[in-house]
Structure 1
């Protein structure tokens, strides 16, 4: 990774925001910013980072935008736009040595636009990673294991849908802002989760995605430092990501939380995450990210797996089910109950999910049931659950792990 890679990722949303605010064409401005990013990757590697990298990127992106407009001479509207761009060249584009005003960082507005309610969740993810994360279409396609042409079409359709829906480059009205911020945070949460535990493919983790999710969440927190959910989400990401190095063995095989070498956890990320969790928990309203961060902090602060305060985690999951009920919360609640009060109690709670169409038959439900059955000593039933779960997951590391658990309990039952 070039030494200036993180700098480019931080600056690209500001470049896109600056252009979109001035000219309004989200699709063309985002493409121009991507062109500038590629130019910078080549030129900065050769010549070094300029004194004013943001001004350099904005100037190059402006010129690319003007070139794109000029090239479409068949359309009168674009011809008029070129004339307009030419007439405002001196005031519109900052020179390489002209700093942009700090109060014109439009990263949050750009995130709101990329998470426009007219888009599907998959389109929101892709567009956020490209426009706000600075990832190329090829990088995003690799992360989600789809052809580059498919991802390019998805991103292009997302831009057109925003345009058709009348999406404007401005913060939503105050009445909508809380709901739309919730969508933004959920998209960042999904990006992080896909990077931390990839749902498909040969790799357990896509570090590029987790890194971008954390970086973008930090950017949101810079704009909204008092929001407890933003702070809670950043804390949750840091506390979870602290375990990354210990989650796999040298062959890439998954190591469950209870068996991880806690000496390999990132103490710096844990310290920051715990501090952010404490800060978030004293602010209202109490929401799902604060509670999940509190659970992650209890895991992070336990010196050994057997020192984990499972009873406190059970209480937090009960609160989480009240604040944000969903089957995955109940699934994790059942694990906590099993650890605190015994596997039979956990299995009883797990049975409530059998009729939930959102999770019934999901490989994680089967895997957890197998784990709790193994704890009871019912190895035959555990073996059947592990085997079925391994057939249903699309993640190769998870499949190998579940197959190994099935083999272990199968041998124990013979």
Structure 2
């Protein structure tokens, strides 16, 4: 018989969503077998003394982009380094995004992501699939992905004009099909047309630095797209998941919709819960560029606390990171034009600690039930 790995985590306080309680945790071959006091375990079980410590379930990062080819370069976190960082920070599962180019097969892109990830991952993972264009072949491939591959979430972009963005008519068709095949629709909610015009305006005014990134895509651009996506999804009775809710304005739209009975879920991310967009005006260009992501962090310093309060109230639902890391040299592709700065920040290792620090606080106190971890 193969040797089994047995671990007893003893004397800690177990924190679950519904409560926290003093309990031991018995793990066999990586699977939790029992939680309780005075557990009886086989001889030779390794015992970890957790007295004075908290025991949390492994976290799930709902939004990552490992080794994504984007804006003329490739994210530096691959599926090995990225998931290794996740585990180091207490996250034991990630959900990455398959993002096919316009005109490309969703199924072929999915298999390519799987082949890349399977050889490298250090933790559990699953995949969302993006719909970046629309015709009958995309519709058929979505059905195959649901029925044969277990995919149950598809992401649509209202931003990145001429790259990933869908029209309202295409969104209506995609949302309708998600409803028909039992999948949830996801959206990157920013008005791509207004961003394109805003970027032209900023550059014409001589604003080329990272601050231009936020100035050309203000809160109302995110809020408008969020409201539009919710309206379209509701018209076809399709559940909607809004990724990376970054502003108070967009968060209010999600919260209001939920309170009015709409089936919509909002996802703030670690960066948006942990800091704000004042960094874009830092005099050190590399520092400012390091925070460039879409949608941008908001310069209103009260935004992180506001988003955290809505997360605690269940007006926002889960937390991801949008982990899509680029080096200083890669960010420098946009040294003279902010529209060419690769969009993305880190966070997969820090998400759990950011939520704990900002959402729970003093570790000496009894923790409230965890939300969005």
Same fold, TM-score > 0.5, yes or no: no
Larger RCO (CA under 8 A, 6+ residues apart): 2
Larger Rg: 1
More helix by share: 1
TM-score, normalised on structure 2? 0.25
TM-score for both structures, normalised by structure 1? 0.23
